[in-house]
Amino acid sequence: MKIIIDPTSTTDPYDNVTEITADSEDANFPIENTRDDFTTNLWKAASGVTVATITLVVSKGSAVEVLNTNATSVTVTVGTGGDYDPETGFEPETGFEFESGVAVTTVYSLPGTGGRLWADYTEITYPHIITIQLTAAATVCAGIVRAGNVEEFNDPMYNFGEDSLDYSIERELNNGADYFRKRNVVRQFDNLQMIETRANCFTFKHSIFDYVGPKPLAIRLVHNKITDDEFILFAKRTDSPKITFDCGASKGRLRFGLREVI
Amino acid sequence: MLLVEITINAVVNYVSAEGHALTHNWIPRIIDFDKPVLSIPSNHGGYAKMSFGSIVFNPLLFQNDWPPPVSCAIGIYYTDTTEAARETVFTGIAHLNKFDREQIVYSLYGPSYDEVITSTTAYNDTLNNVMDAILTAIPEITSVDTTYARAASPNVTYTVPDDILAIDLASDIAEFYSHLFYVSGSTAYLVDMLLDNGTDKTLTEFQYFAYPVYWYNVIAVVYASQYYQKSAYPYGNTMSVTAYHTTQVNIEAALLNILNIENAARITFDYPMIAGNFPNPGQRIDIPDTAHVANLSSYIRARRLTYDFINNSITIEGEGVISAG
């Protein structure tokens, strides 16, 4: 299980993005909308723009999450900035060298509706730039962008469950037929458990979930044996995680639940 | 889709209950919205006026304008499709009622008409002309549409005893002569309670919710000073009204209409809130109902409309006819 959060950050939303820009933007749907806690509060490119790039400056980190995008293809490029070629006659002082700026590019395919992207990259411990080029069939949009430090834990043990909270309206018509109006459906995960070191249990509970409370976080619920996009979440804890010390002196058992947000 | 424009410290905010990315980004900040009710003052007529309760917002709406302002201009709209196709439900003022850590409650206030008809003003004309004279004295109302008023407009003979608000006097007179009126834009529409307002609407059983309720009031006698009309139900209630005529035959004719409307069958039912399902007061709606021991085929004229924007349904009540289907 991975969570994008910097427990040392004191700035909402507690990741490591220090700057975010988009090369196209509908004034009614600014890029800042991707930084709030609502997956349905969208950033949209200008009307008719189907290819747009989001650029992030990230202080440190190893992953980026994009949620609720209509993109069918996403190209994520991670680098440390532009290349530097010293003018003739100049060279760095002894002990210093120019950063190569070599970028790593990865292309992802998404479904085109409600898309979920989690892109891991080799950890960079200093400021770097992430560009996310999104390509969609219509005006491109996205709901959430988070990037930065990843706190990693064991995957939850088997036997956890997924159900849904459906906000649709359903009523009986006079002849017994069904009337419905589809509304948002969010997923809930319960019976989540994992055995972790005592230190990780404290990090998980104290430094992350007790720290942010009901605030939703970018989470990859399962990442080792299963890599399905379905386990990429933007979710809040349903109840505060509980630690049970029943696994010996060095380990504890974490029990918790998660619920996606709208 | 419920869409609300609320002006907070001179900035228009676009909010909704669910969140809708239309032309504007209608962010989800509405927690609850009391059901607005369009109704007439009695079962036999008067001014069909929309009454509003409160609207409840998420405190996040005011995070940059804290504490919430005491009053805000507000526009409330409904659309099934696009922002351009939205229909106006309400425009007026939202006045801060109360707030706590979890919610901000504003009460809604619509336009009010404060023009006064002074005492000793005398009327002796047709209902249509009297209504026109009274209502167009209100600057916001520039005309009275009488397309669906009674063909032979009854005579009104009345001298105003005390100063009275024009809108209230118009409502009282219309009510006595079994008419309703409603205001849309700058036009007042006068509608005979005995006629259908506009095109009839026929529903199938796929188009309204279970279960309609069929019910009755029972009035034994209606009085207007010394004049009265009796029904066939002597065990019923007694009703008194103010007469807006001085002649017995005119008063008794009006009382008979009131008696018949008050004792008519009434039906209440819900149906989905979708475009096309917003009837005008007085519009006739026919419903079949095969869910009883024998089939029914009935109609009502819409008199009381309750709009549930949170659960997307409209409750309609009115009087009409219940028949075997």
**Using one digit for the tens of pLDDT, what is the confidence trace for B243-256?**
999 999 999 999 99
Q: Read off the pLDDT of each residue in B283-310 and give the average, rounded to a whole number.
A: 95
- Does the pLDDT of residue A84 top 70, yes or no? no
**Using one digit for the tens of pLDDT, what is the confidence trace for A198-217?**
999 999 999 999 999 999 99
CA atoms of B263 and A60, how far apart (whole Å): 77
Centre a 10 Å sphere on the Cβ of residue A199 and count the other Cβ atoms it contains. Answer: 11
**Using one digit for the tens of pLDDT, what is the confidence trace for A159-191?**
999 999 999 999 999 999 999 999 889 999 999
| pLDDT at position A114 | 86
Tell me if A69 sits within 8 A of A136, measured CB to CB. yes
Domains and CATH numbers, chain B: 2-109 (no CATH), 116-192 (3.55.50.10), 201-324 (no CATH)
Please tell me whether the overall predicted TM-score, pTM, comes out greater than 0.90 for this model.
Answer: no
* Banded model confidence at residue B276, pLDDT cuts 50, 70, 90: confident
- The single residue listed with the structure tokens 């009454």 is B51
For chain B, give the mean pLDDT. 95
**Delimiting residues of CATH 2.60.120.260 domain(s) in chain A:** 17-148
Nearest CA-CA partner of B137 in B121, B157, B158, B124: B121
- Does the pLDDT of residue A82 top 60, yes or no? no
Contact A183/B at CB under 8 A: yes
Q: Read off the pLDDT of each residue in A222-234 and give the average, rounded to a whole number.
A: 87
**Helix ranges, chain B (H):** 127-135, 166-176, 248-262
| pLDDT at position A93 | 77
**Using one digit for the tens of pLDDT, what is the confidence trace for B85-136?**
998 888 889 999 999 999 999 999 887 899 999 999 999 999 999 999 999 9
| pLDDT at position B290 | 94
Contact A204/B at CB under 8 A: no
Contact B277/A at CB under 8 A: no
Distance from CA of A54 to the nearest CA of B (A): 19
| pLDDT at position A223 | 84
| pLDDT at position B18 | 87
Give the C-alpha distances (Å, rounded to integers) separating A47 from A38, A43, A72, B86.
22, 12, 17, 21
Kindly report the CATH class assigned to A17-148.
mainly beta
- Does the pLDDT of residue A87 top 80, yes or no? no
From the list A29, A169, A173, the residue facing B210 with the nearest CB is: A173
Contact list, B19 vs chain A (CB under 8 Å):
38, 40-41, 262
For chain A, give the mean pLDDT. 91
DSSP-assigned states of every residue in A243-256: EE--S-SSEEEEEE
